[in-house]
Amino acid sequence: MAHQPSAVRRSRRTFSAILELVLTGAAGAMLLALTLVTCIDVVARYWFNRPLAGAYELTEVLLSALIFVALPVTTARREHVDVDLVEMFASKSVRAVMQRLADLVCGLVLGLFAWRVLVHAVNLQTDGAVTDSLSLPLAPLGYLAAAACALSSLICLLRLRLPYQS
């Protein structure tokens, strides 16, 4: 008889599936917005000689947000770029140790990033920092980046409790 997952495990899976769906949807919406801004700017610039005001800033902000919204999903799926120079020659036990070490280092580094970006976001909010032409506040982007790094850090550190997956 197969072991049924506990209610806690099921709720964790449901929460992580919903979170992944929300983050993936948000990343898709930002990618669509980036595409629309670029298309509108190009058409307006070359057909009407009237570029979209603030297109460069919108592109910067949307691209930054897209990267950080996608970071936890990329981390959870183990889709970061990696180089497997040693892995093809290493035994399963060595690969397991390397994976655990990579998860630990990534978790700690992303946690450090989250802390420092949060400090920077608080400073941006205190200073009232905004973008140059559209006056978009920068602190929310900093808070988003800090939250994404913190969530990615948590994913890496929680993964240390799971069995090795080759």
Identify the CA nearest to 73 among candidates 21, 10, 12, 147: 21
**Residue 112 corresponds to which amino acid?**
L
As a whole number, mean pLDDT of residues 145-161 equals: 95
pLDDT digits (tens, 9 = 90+) for 26-76: 999 999 999 999 999 999 999 999 999 999 999 999 999 999 999 999 999
Question: Does pLDDT of 166 surpass 70?
Answer: no
DSSP string across 74-135: HHHTT-S----TTTTTS-HHHHHHHHHHHHHHHHHHHHHHHHHHHHHHHHHHHHT-B-TTT-
Identify the CA nearest to 150 among candidates 60, 46, 75: 75
The token duo for 85 is 């120079």
Confidence of residue 14 (pLDDT cuts 50, 70, 90): confident
What pLDDT is attached to residue 1? 45
The token duo for 140 is 């929310």
What does the mean pLDDT of the chain come to?
Answer: 89
In this structure, the dihedral spanned by the alpha carbons of residues 135, 120, 107 and 102, taken in order and rounded to 10 degrees, is: 80
Q: Is the dihedral of CA 108, 111, 115, 121 positive or negative?
A: positive
Among 32-36, 130-134, 140-144, 157-161, the least confident range: 157-161
